[in-house]
Amino acid sequence: MSAAAIVFEELPAGAGKLGRVTLNVPATLNSLTLDMVDLLQARLQQWRDDAGIGAIFIEGAGEKAFCAGGDVQALYESVTAAPGGPCPYAESFFQREYRLDYTLHTYPKPVIAWGHGIVMGGGLGVMAGCSHKVVTEKTRIAMPEVNIALFPDVGGSWFLNHMPGKCGLFLALTGASINAADAIYTGIADRFISSERREDVLQALLRQRWQAEPAGNHALVRHTLRPFAEQSVSQCPGGQVEPHLGSIANLCDGDDVHQVVANILSQQTQDPWLASARDSLAYASPLAVMWTFRQLAQTRLASLREVFQAELVLATNIMRHPEFAEGVRALLIDKDRKPDWQYRATRDVPAAALDAFFTAPWESNPLADL
């Protein structure tokens, strides 16, 4: 592979071409930098207007990850360089990352995500925006942002709110890890295909005679992927979300966020998945839990465009507050796992402090033109 952070290829097919995108920083689990976001945005715009490109295939280099998220180290450096005030790199990153995700969600041509390995944070934002989302037996998905005092962004306010029952709320508050079967059940993936079939899938896509109309090409992608999914059924792991649906509903059945949190934290369970979710919430920033709960509630009926605009307000305000830097320090920089959160419990968070995170910090939202 090239040393480029993203490798773009135009592969000749039976007719037309397949655009191939490889996120190519396996040493950081293909985490997204601002440069990578800009490169992908520019190439998507170019390929959208290129009649020769019939479909696009996005994958991650290496066997470990599709994309583990945004480059949190770079965000940390940006916010600690300007504590309490605007932090240009971090704020530009979120603006352009959300614009990229919106571009993917609304892209006219078929975009196939090969979601193999770790898919977290910004990586899930990319995959969720693709029109054809494939997961494998190695797929591991999570949005554990509350553990670094962020929130499930990159469109999480959209796809978490569209999950069955209270699944989205539970996953947002606990950062619980899910697999391929869970991804399909919750709607953030479309098909399970065994990872050993990746090259076969690519070759089948390259045999297609891509058409001028995107609708016909979407059908070609579906017809290409379907037999591989049918042949892979026996290799799909057992799900975790659907079997726990009753427990999730009971745990999230509260009059307010405090009761939901108390329900999850007070579990006396031997179930490893529920216990892991409980322990993750116990570690999380109480302030982040509060803004995550409110963000989901406020965007429950919002359009996709409104979701990204609302997420940018919250993300920008979080970057200007010390809680995020402390969360990253404790988990990823010093790795002492002893964050000094501003509040000890969700009930300690003043209403006015929470309101401030949902007040736009500029006169015009930078994503107003979506």
Structure tokens at 262: 């108390």
The residues, ordered by sequence, that sit 6+ positions from 79 with a Cβ below 8 Å of its Cβ are: 87, 90, 319, 320, 324, 325
Question: Which residues are registered as beta bridge partners of 133?
Answer: 113
Domain boundaries, the chain: 6-356
Please give the mean pLDDT across all residues of the chain: 97
The model's pLDDT over 257-272, given as tens digits with 9 standing for 90+, comes to: 999 999 999 999 999 9
C-alpha 244: how far from chain center: 22
Q: How confident is the model at residue 300 (pLDDT cuts 50, 70, 90)?
A: very high
Alpha-carbon distances, residue 159 vs 55, 162, 175 (angstroms): 23, 5, 14
Q: What is the pLDDT of residue 147?
A: 97
Digit-coded pLDDT (tens) for 108-167: 999 999 999 999 999 999 999 999 999 999 999 999 999 999 999 999 999 999 999 999
- Tokens 């770790």 locate to 118
Select from 189, 45, 199 the least CA-distant residue to 131: 189
**Is 2's pLDDT higher than 60?**
no
Residue numbers annotated as active site: 70, 122, 145, 153
Q: What is the pLDDT of residue 84?
A: 87
Give the integer Cα–Cα distance in Å for 289 and 227: 42
With respect to CATH, is domain 6-356 assigned 3.50.50.60? Answer: no
- pTM (two decimals): 0.97
Q: What is the DSSP letter of 51?
A: T
d(CA 115, CA 126): 10
CA gap 20, 233 in Å, rounded = 26
